[in-house]
Chain A
């Protein structure tokens, strides 16, 4: 874990780790907006869980080895198996399981045995059929599960439990495919006693897709931080910046302005700070003052407005002036996913705001 990590009080990672300490075979769904720090929380969870006696924790970015637009049941199980095989590389008997998983992942040539009694069936390339029965889906998961269970047997001579942190699936847009992964892969992993923490798409939180959250032992939401209303949130983000920046690099008002302009989105906080440093370099300034921060905010905001359609601008103006946001369409949801609209949750209370970097630009656009 990076030296730059700052623990947020009551963080999602500490909550998940505490639950896993009590129930290492439990399953957890983590959802949050882009740039809210989900991966950081997942890595922090891995670090905390690794400290629990008898638990081995693995982090896996599922999207690194597979195009998540083409998710099929079994993809997650096989990746968990391959990651475990890599972790147990030095242990005898692992290689055969690893090879089998590699075959399942990449495909292989089955040995050809000629049938001399039936010359009507000449060997040739297998042309897959178009029907995929539910049984076949279950079979592909089972196929990947067998070598994984072998590896779990090896692991259990060292650690009683395995917990996997699955990252990257938050970028899935096909919610039916996501649900299939949850039904087949996550349940299969839970069935063989593997604890799971999975980062899921933001859209799983809304409308009919919300039922998927009920398939997990626990659901956790990594919110953007309401820097306008919560002083502890402002203090946390200020600490994050101070930990990463040389002392005196920013003036205090400069840091305060960046924290507010970030809208509580961690990634935006860091990119705004970085851009303000570039502005200071161009200005030849020794430290970042308000002028450099304002320039960085303006550049960020202008970028953030590109690609918007008229109807979306109307929605943004309504959120800006009235704070009301009812997401009924895919376009509305896209405004949340792209952080033009920020949603803050505080003890069940919801607040919506436009990203602070576009607030003034929208005001200018509306002429008021």
Chain B
């Protein structure tokens, strides 16, 4: 009897979700195989930057829970990605007890393996309660990514009552408004190249 897995999300979708949570103190987790964690963090960072170049993000790679507390105290980045693949029950237990020291004004995502996350869920009930519904499994590519991209593009078309062609045309003409949604739209269409001084 296997428990249902957490939903999958591409780095692009998680970046979008993170942007939506901007301005709040939020904790999430992104689960991947150990060998994919570096790629997941790299993609997440890239996607976030593509959505908003002004975003301040930091990646920390602590070896222990104690080190994470010190690393967090030393960063003021709005988005913090924590490579937590080395964390075991002992680390999660310590972070659970010292939950107050993890307070961070922004979005903090723990990127770790499925087994390490299982240990978190067993050893750190307080920390787990902070994660709420922000836990996703990394997918490199494929249907999940496409579905998320199409879902967001649909939302943007409805929001602006415009087509993709309208947006590309406006960006080429330099008449595209500077709202971040339009920049996001171009990125999702694969036309981030139009985000120059004219179109950004």
Q: Which residues of A does B touch, CB under 8 Å?
A: 34-35, 61, 63-64, 67-69, 168, 171-172, 267-268, 271-272, 274-275, 277-278, 281-285, 296-300, 302-303, 305-308, 310, 313, 334, 337-339, 361, 364-365
Contacts and interface: CB of A to CB of B under 8 A. Distances in A.
B100 A61 contact: yes
Contacts of B119: 307
A283 B156 CA distance: 9
Nearest to B136: A299
A284 B20 contact: no
B97 interface: yes
Nearest to B26: A274
A64 B97 CA distance: 9
Nearest to A313: B1
Nearest to A69: B97
Interface residues of B, number: 47
Looking at chain B's contact residues, is the secondary structure mostly helix, strand, loop, or mixed?
helix
Interface string B137-167: 0000000000010011011101100000000
B74 interface: no
Given A35-B129, A268-B132, A299-B135, A306 B6 contact: yes
Interface of B: 1, 3-7, 13, 16-17, 20-21, 24, 26, 29, 93-94, 96-101, 117-122, 125-126, 128-136, 148, 151-152, 154-156, 158-159
Contacts of A268: 129, 132
A361 B135 contact: no
Given A274-B21, A277-B20, A168 B100 contact: yes
A282 to B, nearest CB: 6
Given A274-B24, A278-B17, A303-B133, A34 B125 contact: yes
A303 B131 contact: yes
B100 A63 contact: yes
15 contacts: A67-B98, A168-B100, A172-B97, A267-B129, A272-B132, A274-B26, A281-B16, A282-B17, A299-B136, A302-B3, A306-B6, A308-B3, A313-B3, A334-B125, A338-B125
A307 B122 contact: yes
